[in-house]
Amino acid sequence: MSGETPALARRLASLLYEALLVFAVGFAAGLAFLLASGGAPQAGWLRHAHQAFLLAVFAAYFLWCWLRGGQTLAMKAWRIRLVGATPARALARFCLALVLVPTGLSILWALADADRQFLHDRIAGTRLVRA
């Protein structure tokens, strides 16, 4: 690990790959929920339970990967590692990324940040480095 911040293009490519993996994880978790609940969660409490279940699965996936070795599968493929992750910081990073990445604020921040870090990393106290 060099401690050097990966290029933004590399981090965005990793983000795209991560989206594909998260889709697959969400599909499998959604199917498991569907089979366990006995029907498609169209409305009401079952729909909210389905959404909460998927959020918990995604959080477990990211937190387990970040805390275990600092890398998800996509981060391994693109040779990126998360450093400085404690359980509290990893959870903060996950929650902040849920809001800041889809809005584009975190990516725009990286263009102006002195260390080229994403906003959710800056706030959470974590850092992405080249592995």
Euclidean distance between CA atoms 99 and 27, whole angstroms: 21
Number of H helices, E strands in the chain: 6, 2
Structure tokens at 128: 């992405």
Q: What is the pLDDT of residue 63?
A: 98
Per-residue pLDDT of the chain (131 residues; tens, 9 = 90+): 458 999 999 999 999 999 999 999 999 999 999 999 887 767 788 889 999 999 999 999 999 999 999 999 999 999 999 999 999 999 999 999 999 999 999 999 999 999 999 999 999 999 999 99
Q: What is the pLDDT of residue 2?
A: 56
Q: What is the pLDDT of residue 43?
A: 74
Decide if 94 contacts 14 (C-beta within 8 A): no
Decide if 128 contacts 117 (C-beta within 8 A): yes
Q: Which residues contact 101 (CB under 8 A, 6 or more apart)?
A: 15, 107, 118, 120
